[in-house]
Structure 1
């Protein structure tokens, strides 16, 4: 059996940068086509479509309350890495507008490609014991306290975000958003499984 090998600090740095870059690019592809996703990312997209403030501003602020739960559940190391990742994801889409211009992105392509980018970016963070904060931490906390099942809480939250999105995006885009969520979760399910990777 292969033995677990701890990541070096510089490997963690590279993973945080690459993971945040992929997630940030996924957000850009989603936002250009007005497609949604779940969790804090989805809530931030909905709010950015409806107000003058940016995705990054909402994403950074909405994640802040979850850091306390992250410390309680995952410890300081995970939380600090997550804060760095969230900050990078918050900043990248804003600055990327000076580096890349997308004139048109079809919602179907956005859902598939953006979902894949988000999924691969999240895997890069997960494998280096980091995350992008948000609802997943709260859902685990509620389950630990026997208040609500984590999966049900996340499902209800994501459904609420999609319902809110119905007021700011075309109805057709909600269906593409579901496609994007399926792609994202398939990428994670296929590539982030115990026994297939031994870094820690």
Structure 2
């Protein structure tokens, strides 16, 4: 699957070319960014309910949320701010702006969502499996529309676009590393379920996010 993350000028095809017909419109981008952010926000609510973690900047935000009690969404939004400079320089303004919008929507949805959804009981194994697949699906929506959720996702997509290293491999390595660092704060059982969720999400991306497979841009 292709993830063309170069500048907008380099992506501009001739109006009559087949690639032009495959370009995503603004409405398509908007629904994909909203849907992807919504899927991941549901994952964050499941993980918070089950006491699980995830990787990248979201994992760091979860740890700070558990320790300080501050809202996850606000922490997640602030932690991602330094990554936008790298994204702007390496990935271009279109990708950076879409990522900023996606991160902002996720931060808002994750903090507001519990007002609309309440789960009395949630098995952590179910949360890990369902959450891993939902997060993988959400990230795939975003990646196919030149967006991400910041942090390690920016780095993994850049490495795939620049060097052909699959985003799923990089994401798995980073996510599992962050989750394992949580052993000092979170019980081992919850960390194990969190690692399972990270592996499920990353394998999903590894299989689905192949360079050259997806032609929309």
Alpha-carbon spacing, 1:62–1:2, altered in 2? closer, same or farther (3 Å): closer
Q: Tell me the alpha carbon deviations over residues 144-200 of structure 1, each in whole angstroms, 9 at most, x when there is no partner.
A: xxxxxx999877754553344223322111111111011101111122223432211
Alpha-carbon spacing, 1:39–1:4, altered in 2? closer, same or farther (3 Å): farther
Q: Tell me the alpha carbon deviations over residues 68-111 of structure 1, each in whole angstroms, 9 at most, x when there is no partner.
A: 00000111110000000000010101111111101121111111
Contact 1:112 1:183 in 2 (8 A): yes
Q: Structure 1 CA distance, aligned partners of 2:43 and 2:206? A: 18
Q: Structure 1 CA distance, aligned partners of 2:181 and 2:43? A: 21
Contact 1:46 1:164 in 2 (8 A): no
1:176 aligns with 2:187: no
Q: Number of paired residues? A: 195
Q: Structure 2 CA distance, aligned partners of 1:19 and 1:151? A: 17
Alpha-carbon spacing, 1:151–1:96, altered in 2? closer, same or farther (3 Å): closer
Q: Tell me the alpha carbon deviations over residues 7-30 of structure 1, each in whole angstroms, 9 at most, x when there is no partner.
A: 001100000000000010111111
Q: Structure 2 CA distance, aligned partners of 1:134 and 1:75? A: 16
Aligned twin of 2:49: 32
Instruction: Output the aligned Cα RMSD.
Output: 2.8
Contact 1:56 1:89 in 2 (8 A): yes
Aligned twin of 1:147: none
1:72 aligns with 2:89: yes
Alpha-carbon spacing, 1:73–1:4, altered in 2? closer, same or farther (3 Å): farther
Give TM-score scaled by structure 1 length.
0.87
Contact 2:172 2:198 in 1 (8 A): no
1:86 aligns with 2:103: yes
Give TM-score scaled by structure 2 length.
0.80
C-alpha deviation, 1:36, in angstroms: 1.1
Q: Secondary structure at the match of 1:61?
A: helix
1:41 to 48, 58, 70: 58
Give ranges in structure 1 of 5+ residues lacking alignment: 143-149
Contact 1:66 1:138 in 2 (8 A): no
Give ranges in structure 2 of 5+ residues lacking alignment: 1-17, 160-166
